Chains A and B, each alone.
Chain A
Amino acid sequence: MKQSASLPRTILAPILLGVLAVALWQLAVVALEIKPFVLPSPVSIATEFSGSVSSVWAASLVTGANALIGLLIGAVVGIIAAIIATVLPITDELSAPLVAAASVIPIVALAPVFYTMFGADKETARQLVAALAVFIPVYLNTLRGLRQARPVHRDLMRAYGASAWQATRAVTLPGAVPFLFIGLRIASSLAVISALIGEYFGGPIGGLGKSITSAAASSNYSLAYAYVLGAIILGLVFYIVTLGLEKLVSPHRASASAP
């Protein structure tokens, strides 16, 4: 049985690994004389980053806002859709191919369509792209989770003549929470990535995605990676907030080794 990991281990281990990796990277760039336009060194990225903190921050705000709105829309719709699909199985059957389709329409394909539908000068399309990207893992995982309720618990709800909604709230949803959060965890970083790739295909200028491609197009990779670093931090913030939320709302569990 695993004991819950100590704080130093949860914090120190990843940092140590990170420091090690970055050090190796720096060493490789210096030792092998890798040119900056092939792979910039961590030091030059850090320098560039601290030099352009304000523009990275501004870009992160734009992309972050889109990702957040997308995450909220996608998660709420995903959870509701999964519940509806559980309560009214026919909707699940009706929508199965549509959801399967929606889950694989590449952002590349949909972003231009959304820009045309909702305006190329608005953030809406990017938010929708992020929402769609979020919807899928949240919906799929929640749906699977909702189906995991133990037979004895399902019987119990039946015995209480509980309405489908009541059963969902009392038994199925709490049981699905761990699954839901797997979906959300995946979705949180996906929201950032999608909002960012959405910028690739149009919309107002100012986000991280556009900044990365602009810098990269003129081989200013240190700057490009400074923005990438911004994107990484943004994604990490999203992930950590999701994780915190999970710890907050997770129901009590009797599992020997829940991660």
Chain B
Amino acid sequence: MTRTGSPLGRRVLLGVLGVVVLAAIWELYKALGPATGVVIGDLTVLPRTSDLAMPHVWDMVARLFRPVRSAGDDEMMWQAVLQASFFSLGVAAVGWFVGVVVGMVLAIFMQRFRTAESALLPWIVLSQTVPLIAIAPLVKRWGSQIEIGSFSWENWMSVALIASYLAFFPVSIGALRGLGSPDVNHVELMRTYSVGWWATLVRLRLPASVPYLLPALRLAAANAVIGTVVAEVSIGLRGGIGRMIVEYAAAAGGDPAKPWAPIFGAVLVGLLAAGVVALIGLALARYRRGETPA
């Protein structure tokens, strides 16, 4: 089976088309839907269509091309958003990397030792049920205690660490599953070669885990972005999308399109992150020969 994924041009075109379709649905619903939303019983099943809840698409876009504050010399909104996006992306990337490394190490460790798996896995799951808001201040506080020589812990590192806390989880779960996925056939072949666990890992388990690893990496990227943004708010790190979201929320009443700008920024960050993972997927194409083209 050769992969015959559609050409990039078509993918981009269709992707753009998808966004246009969504925008059209948005405007169509805004035009036709009731201002109070569709309420059944006590449940709002479809959103309100007021400008406050659903600003016009063109308003949201136009807002990007006005200054942050109309004070004149302010930079354009899109510039500010772009800057914040890249800041958050950088922090999220560090978090992602740390998370992936930790997640892989954990998965490999659990794959190696049955007991480690049963002892660790519940706690790994458990770690994800601890609300970020509970750990963010702890991380910041403990981080601020660290000062080794010329190295001193900075706030962005706390944010990256929190991002990695969310990012490692899908990797450890996905990789654990993937490492256990090779055919019996192939595991036995390795057994006949009586190669150690390590060689089996490198030659068989890791390659076989690629189909499991790719969605995990992508989820990790998404989680890292989410973790970064939440942590930025939580510990008040300046410069990124998270802080921007909270600050612009204050203007929501009078300038409903403004809070959407950082949301688009967050989406941009996410898309870039997902794009990088897609590139990784491309590089690993030969480990996904059995897959139907995406």
Contact = CB atoms under 8 A, between A and B. Distances in A.
Interface of A: 1-2, 5, 9-10, 13-14, 16-18, 21, 38-39, 86, 90, 92-98, 100-101, 103-110, 112-113, 116-119, 122, 124, 136-137, 140-141, 143-144, 147-151, 154, 178-179, 182-183, 185-186, 189-190, 192-193, 196-197, 200, 208-209, 212-213, 216, 224-225, 228, 231-232, 234-236, 239, 254-259
B229 A118 contact: no
Q: How large is the interface on B (under 10, 10 to 19, 20 to 34, 35 or more residues)?
A: 35 or more
B63 to A, nearest CB: 15
B161 interface: no
B121 interface: yes
A101 B211 contact: no
A231 B173 CA distance: 21
A107 B119 CA distance: 31
B34 interface: no
Contact of B263 (A39, A105, A197, A213): A105
Contact of A109 (B15, B183, B262): B262
Nearest to B275: A100
Interface string B107-137: 0001100110111111101101111111001
Nearest to A239: B125
B132 A17 contact: no
Contacts of B274: 100, 103-104
B43 interface: yes
Given A2-B114, A182-B177, A254 B226 contact: no
Contacts of A154: 292
A62 to B, nearest CB: 14
A236 B11 contact: no
B17 interface: yes
Contact of B181 (A143, A235, A258): A258
Interface of B: 1, 6, 10-11, 14-19, 21-22, 37, 42-44, 47-48, 52-54, 110-111, 114-115, 117-123, 125-126, 128-134, 137-138, 141, 169-170, 173-174, 176-177, 179-184, 187-188, 211-212, 214-216, 218-219, 221-222, 225-226, 228-230, 233, 241-242, 245-246, 249, 252, 259-260, 262-263, 266-267, 269-271, 273-274, 290-292, 294
B286 to A, nearest CB: 15
B182 A231 contact: no
B266 A105 contact: yes
Contact of A147 (B128, B183, B294): B294
Given A14-B118, A14-B123, A235-B125, A259 B37 contact: no
A9 B225 contact: no
A147 B291 contact: yes
Contact of B14 (A16, A93, A186, A212): A93
